[in-house]
Amino acid sequence: MPRPRRLLAIAALVLLAGCNDTLRSNLSERQANEIMAMLQQHRITATPERERDGSWRLEVAPDRRELAIELLNAYELPGQTYSDMLQIFPKEGFMSSPVEERARYQYGLAQELEKTLSHMEGVVLARVHVTIPGREFLKDASSQPASASIFVKYRSDMSMAGKEEDIRDLVAHSIGNIPHENVSIMMSPVTPKLGNPAARIRSGWFGVHYREGNWLTVTLLYSLPWLAILAWLAWRAWRWPAWRGWHARLSARRGQVDSTEGYYTRAEKR
């Protein structure tokens, strides 16, 4: 391979080092948007790619993937896929027992409440457990009070002051015939660990991300190929006949000027 092609190949390989890695795949559009919004808040750029089956794939820079995965785990993303009542109670010809109906109803109600709570601002994860006692709960729902236990995981940078009572009212009114004291709520803040501040990520050459301590290595890796190309271009220009002829004429003129100045200098000394 000729030398210039080798230099271009080296430069291409260096540029390809900035290709992205897959972070998550088989995502819905809503899940992809949630992840991109969260990563953007932490200055991580995620690139969405549409798959053939209609799902989405997110890609990030290789040196940002580890941090992005930690953030996804901390924020419980992508979010859970909830079942609706039509999926839990399909239209089938077989009859279900009262116990099965109650279990399915409790599960479906908990799913609907979790889905609603997950859309509240600042909520990362919501879990709801509903208990409706009594065998004939659909016929006599007023016989015994129901109860509910709620776990909410929220972002520590979001204020949840006063939200606990709002959640209790929402759940109590959604279930019906449930005293507020039978609704227990546990609130847990989440603070993602972003690693050592001394190892923060910066963006430099061609958008490539690197740690602050590695700036010299990255600069050399990206500068050397281009310096080699510039040196080769300068060498080719030096060998160009027109350039060499012009340089020779310029040198000759300088030699004539220098000889003339020397002559006048010697004449003045005489």
Confidence band for 168, pLDDT divided at 50, 70 and 90: very high
Average the pLDDT over each of 52-66, 67-81, 138-152 and give the range with the smallest value. 138-152
Confidence band for 263, pLDDT divided at 50, 70 and 90: very low
Q: How far apart are CA 193 and CA 187, in angstroms?
A: 19
> Per residue in 186-243, pLDDT tens?
999 887 665 544 445 555 555 555 555 555 666 666 677 778 888 877 777 666 655 5
More confident residue, 180 or 221: 180
- For the chain, the domains span 16-75, 85-190, 202-255
Amino acid 62: pLDDT: 84
Is there a contact between 221 and 229 (Cβ–Cβ < 8 Å)? no
What is the separation of C-alpha 55 from the centre of its chain, rounded to a whole number of angstroms?
Answer: 17
Mean of all residue pLDDT scores within the chain: 73
More confident residue, 58 or 268: 58
Domain 85-190 has CATH 3.30.300.30: yes
Amino acid 199: pLDDT: 46
Long-range pairs, 42-45, Cβ under 8 A, ≥24: 42/67, 42/71, 42/192, 42/194, 43/201, 44/68, 44/71
Confidence band for 113, pLDDT divided at 50, 70 and 90: very high
β pairing state of 183-190 and 201-203:
unpaired
CATH architecture of 16-75: 2-Layer Sandwich (3.30)
pTM of the full predicted structure?
0.53
Encode 96-108: b = buried (16+ Cβ within 10 Å), e = exposed: eeeeeebeebbeb
Average the pLDDT over each of 40-49, 83-92, 150-159 and give the range with the smallest value. 83-92
